[in-house]
Chain A
Amino acid sequence: MSETTTVQVVEVKHAATHHEEHGHHEQSFISKYIFSMDHKTIGKQFLITGIVWAIIGGFFSVLFRLQLGYPEATFPILETLFGKWAKGGQIQPEFYYSLVTMHGTILVFFVLTAGLSGTFANILIPLQIGARDMASPFLNMLSYWFFFLAGVVMAASIFVQTGPASGGWTMYPPLSALRQAGDGQKIGTDLWLVSMALFVVSSLLGGLNYISTILNMRTKGMSMTRLPLPIWAMFFTAVLGVLSFPVLLSGAILLLFDRNLGTSFFLSDIVINGEVLPNEGGSAILYQHLFWFLGHPEVYIILLPAMGMVSEILSVNSRKPIFGYMAMLGSLFAIAILAFLVWAHHMFVTGLNPFLGSVFVLLTLLIAVPSAIKVFNWLTTIWRGNIRFTPAALFAIGFVSLFISGGLTGIFLGNSTIDIHLHDTMFVVAHFHIVMGVASMFGMFAGVYHWFPKMFGRYLNNTLGYIHFWVTIAGSYLIFWPMHYQGLAGVPRRYLDKRGWVNFNQFGELDKFITVVSIIVFVVQIVFVVNFFYSIYKGRKLRTENPWGANTLEWTTPINPGHGNWEGDIPEVHRWPYDYAKDGREFIPQTEPVGASESKH
């Protein structure tokens, strides 16, 4: 869209309270905290909104885990809370599917897309490249408010009489296209589609800004190969989003037409409840192609920011340069390209041409190469490092651990022959939760612990951080490892009650165990949330601008930077960001000119 705002001239509050004659105005509460154009405030808005959604989405998973673990038990409290959806204290099938759908939608889009890259792209890009704000602060603000609006619509869908969408987070037609198919397919699905359309607009506005900020607004001396790795990761993330989200939007628009105007883009030859529908010539598989053309890059939209932040945090906390900076860039680039070429591996069992399938198998397995390069580089970065086990560093190491174990099962699923057996089993659930969900959550936690001092000028409580880490990593493995075992035995996903199947009901005790661990892990996340909000106001105060001894530019700003980030001129950059343990010095900030006697990298 053509954006017609002219030059944004905003004054910066000077810490030295040096008021000048020409109109230094105090920002009102609304322009400072609500309709703020400061990238740091917008980042915090994304983060806090993301946390709220994460609690809701996580709580939903606890509810359906209760059903999976204890299908025979009744919980009267559930009927008190949810009325007819939990009649007799048992979660009803329609409600179960709504919970699963909402859990997926919320976590994938609202938490791990908006909450993760929205937060850290906003906070880190201008600070780490040396810019006063984004290329267009106004579009940036719009990006948050479209996200907020998408959230309002999604939240509203939870409260409508027929309940929220229940067709799965992928919203496959024909199920999602037919109102007659169930309560969740009524107004709930329309609200879901509208919410997603708003979300796409939000992430496009954000992504455009991230790309043009990174390419156009770097400070003097900040060449592309001197960019910290989180910025590179956010760059590729934004490119993926900008190219793939519009395709999801076109799929969603066609689906809205099919639902409301009687078109047959995705519908053909359907008999439902004895009624023969007139639609013909539509193709449900077409929707899957459109969806997964976004859906697969989406996996990397979620994962790349976590990878970038982990690279930075591991290097800073092992007091060693990142191993293989250019290899890290190359592998990010390779992953971004391959992300667009593998979507059909989600569709091996749709009757896809087996030859075409084998091409997608090859391309899918190729992703193992850049992934392995990254893992190797992370391990060699911390190898023999002087590691400081801060909560951020622990979460970053946890990320690498989860990425390895989740990535290995990806090799199973990427082979179409094995996928035919494992498709739609708990094995898939375990795989993508570990590699994409939990791993990215760990990257996000690492980022929050690491940059919290920059965001709020205070530290998070370390002890609670350690409790949070150890329970979450142990819990994640205890939840998802048994699911691999179930999946290999053929236990299907999406079933809310498996007691009727002799083959599957032997896993009842395992399901109980997973449920108990899920509840414990959920409670510990609440501990983190308490720590987060408590520390904003009461945490230990920062006494130095650069608490971690890091090289990047964000630590050269004042402890509580105003809008504009640097009080004087923007610092100039003279070196790459990973000069740790060099020439006998622990760290050399990017702003320091290269000395005459300095050794080369």
Chain B
Amino acid sequence: MKKLEMVSNATTKKMHPHKFTLWVAMGSLIMMFAGLTSAFIVKSNQAGWKPVTLPSVFWASTVAILISSGAIILALRSFKERNMARYRLLMIVTLLLGAAFIGLQWVGFEKLWEQQITFKGSGAGQFLYVIFGLHALHVAGGIVALLVLVAKAFVGRVKIYSSVPIEIAATYWHFVDLLWIYLLVFFLVIGQR
């Protein structure tokens, strides 16, 4: 009796089902952030609204996550060229930049808190903590996925030739990157009104 594959990699379909699942999941995440940012817009017309000015540290975190997106593109390319040493290095760079992003976001939160933008009262600051916080959580989820991949690249006895898991991680990573750009622009344009 031959082995039966539950999810076949040799499918003739255009896209791997796991990749497709990720795209649907990203649609779902977009809905969540759309919900939050539209709540922001609705509330910004209410009494007692205070706008917020972003501390410059958020620009540093933007740079970090943009470079990390570039790093994971190169990592994927190295994997496809079977240049494993370079792949491992670039994955670790991506990972560290992701961690740096979250650290810088935290610094940004502290800067805002020092400016008396807290949970008290009302205004854009409260939304900033919730929205940026949720985004950072999703970046953290991506870091966990990257950790798993890096661990596999170091300790795996079985050689893996499928690039699907890395492609999925890379797509997700670009997604949280783009999501961050959207949120940044949103707070720069609408948050400071």
Contact = CB atoms under 8 A, between A and B. Distances in A.
B35 A264 contact: no
A215 interface: yes
B115 interface: no
B155 interface: no
Contacts of A12: 1, 4
Interface stretch (B11-19, B60-68, B98-106): B11-19
Contacts of A244: 31
A10 B24 CA distance: 26
Interface in B129-160: 130, 134, 141-142, 145, 148-149, 152, 160
Interface in B9-31: 9, 11, 13, 15-18, 20-22, 24-25, 27-29, 31
Contact of B17 (A1, A37, A213, A289): A213
Contacts of B171: 2
Interface in B24-43: 24-25, 27-29, 31-36, 39, 42-43
A80 B192 CA distance: 59
A247 B171 CA distance: 23
Nearest to A16: B1
Interface string A45-88: 00000000000000000000000000000000000000000000
A289 B121 contact: no
Contacts of A516: none
Given A242-B27, A264-B122, A217 B148 contact: no
Q: Most chain-A CB neighbours within 10 Å: which of B1, B49, B149, B169?
A: B1
B10 to A, nearest CB: 10
Contacts of B43: 265, 281-283, 286
B20 A212 contact: yes
A10 B4 CA distance: 6
Interface of A: 1-12, 14, 18, 20, 24, 37, 132-133, 135-137, 139, 204, 207-209, 211-213, 215-217, 242-247, 249-251, 253-254, 257, 261-265, 268, 278-283, 286, 289-290, 293, 563-564
B116 interface: no
State the main secondary structure of chain B at its contact with A. helix
| 9 cross-chain pairs, A with B, having the tightest CB-CB distances, nearest first | A281-B122, A281-B48, A246-B32, A135-B17, A247-B35, A250-B35, A2-B145, A216-B17, A2-B172
A261 B119 contact: yes
B27 A243 contact: yes
Nearest to A211: B24
Contacts of B15: 216
Contacts of A245: 28
Contact of A4 (B6, B123, B169): B169
Contacts of A1: 22, 25, 141, 145, 172
A131 to B, nearest CB: 9
Contact of A281 (B16, B39, B46, B152): B46
A212 B15 CA distance: 10
A2 B169 contact: yes
Nearest to B149: A4
B123 to A, nearest CB: 7
B126 A257 contact: yes
Nearest to B170: A2
A215 B20 contact: yes
Contact of B5 (A8, A263, A264, A286): A8
Contacts of B11: 216
B12 to A, nearest CB: 9
A262 B119 contact: yes
Contacts of A264: 48, 121-122, 126
A250 B141 contact: no
A597 B25 CA distance: 47
B189 interface: no
A4 B165 contact: yes
Q: Most chain-A CB neighbours within 10 Å: which of B15, B35, B42, B119?
A: B35
Given A14-B1, A263-B126, A265-B126, A293 B6 contact: no
A110 to B, nearest CB: 21
A9 B21 contact: no
Contacts of B162: 6-7
B15 to A, nearest CB: 7
A419 B149 CA distance: 56
B59 to A, nearest CB: 26
Contacts of B13: 216
B168 A279 contact: no
Q: Most chain-B CB neighbours within 10 Å: which of A20, A247, A293?
A: A247
A281 B160 CA distance: 55
A280 B22 contact: no
Contacts of B20: 135, 211-212, 215-216
A247 B7 contact: no
A257 B119 contact: yes
Contacts of B4: 9-12, 132, 564
Q: Most chain-B CB neighbours within 10 Å: which of A1, A37, A245, A278?
A: A1
24 contacts: A1-B145, A2-B142, A4-B169, A6-B165, A8-B5, A9-B3, A9-B4, A14-B1, A20-B1, A132-B5, A135-B18, A204-B25, A212-B18, A212-B20, A212-B24, A216-B13, A243-B28, A244-B31, A247-B32, A250-B33, A251-B39, A254-B39, A264-B48, A264-B122
A209 B35 CA distance: 23
B28 A246 contact: yes
Given A139-B21, A280-B47, A286 B122 contact: no
Nearest to A126: B6
B138 to A, nearest CB: 9
Given A1-B145, A6-B162, A18-B1, A132 B31 contact: no
Given A8-B6, A257-B119, A136 B35 contact: no
Contacts of B119: 257, 261-263
Contacts of A289: 39, 42
A251 B31 CA distance: 12
Contacts of B7: 7-8, 133, 135-137, 217
Contacts of A290: 35, 39
Contact of A282 (B16, B122, B168): B122
B93 to A, nearest CB: 18
Contacts of A280: 47-48, 121-122
